[in-house]
Structure 1
């Protein structure tokens, strides 16, 4: 079965906060070029970030153990939040934080949906001879 996209989104500009965002605009002029790009497929969650140095982190869906969303009051008013993906690699736990994601509940649900599809056993073909 081919890998298909379930969700593609980006970290929002508003996640920097009012004060930090204003300072970044005044000092740098280009504060949002290194935002995260999040892609949820049927097989993995792809997190890309960086401007000068690009970083790509692939989290295989079958390794995900928990998805947590956090939304402080300021983020709830803006409709954004953080999504924390907890995955296992061998015996160690990895944490991947997606910061300032628009509609974090929908992103968490998309990840959960991909995990459920990966966790279901594939239907075996009946061979009657």
Structure 2
């Protein structure tokens, strides 16, 4: 099965808040150029961030252990939030924060459904006798 893109989004400008918005405008919009770009496929989550230095982080779906949605009052009013993905890399737990995601509950449910498909293979159950 080939990898298919299910969701592509960016960290919204609204996630910076009013103070950062004013500072961003004063700095000719430079902070907004380094926003996170998030791509969710049936095999991985790719997070690209940075303006001067690009950082790409791939999170394999089968390594995910937990997904948490965090929303401040300001974020709830705007319909955005942060999705925290906890994954295991070897014996180390890693936290990945997808910042300023529109409709974060739907995104976390989408990730959870993908993880369930990857963690529970389809087909008849087999037993060892």
**TM-score normalised by L of structure 2:** 0.90
Check whether the contact 1:61–1:115 (CA below 8 A) recurs between aligned residues: yes
> Using CA pairs below 8 Å that are at least 6 residues apart, which structure has the higher relative contact order?
1
**Which residue is 2:109 aligned to?**
109
**Which residue is 2:39 aligned to?**
39
**Which residue is 1:127 aligned to?**
none
Residue 94 in 1 paired to residue 58 in 2?
no
Shift of 1:31: 2.5
**Which residue is 1:80 aligned to?**
80
**TM-score normalised by L of structure 1:** 0.90
Unaligned runs of 5+ in 2: 125-129
Shift of 1:30: 2.8
Unaligned runs of 5+ in 1: 125-129
Check whether the contact 1:40–1:110 (CA below 8 A) recurs between aligned residues: no
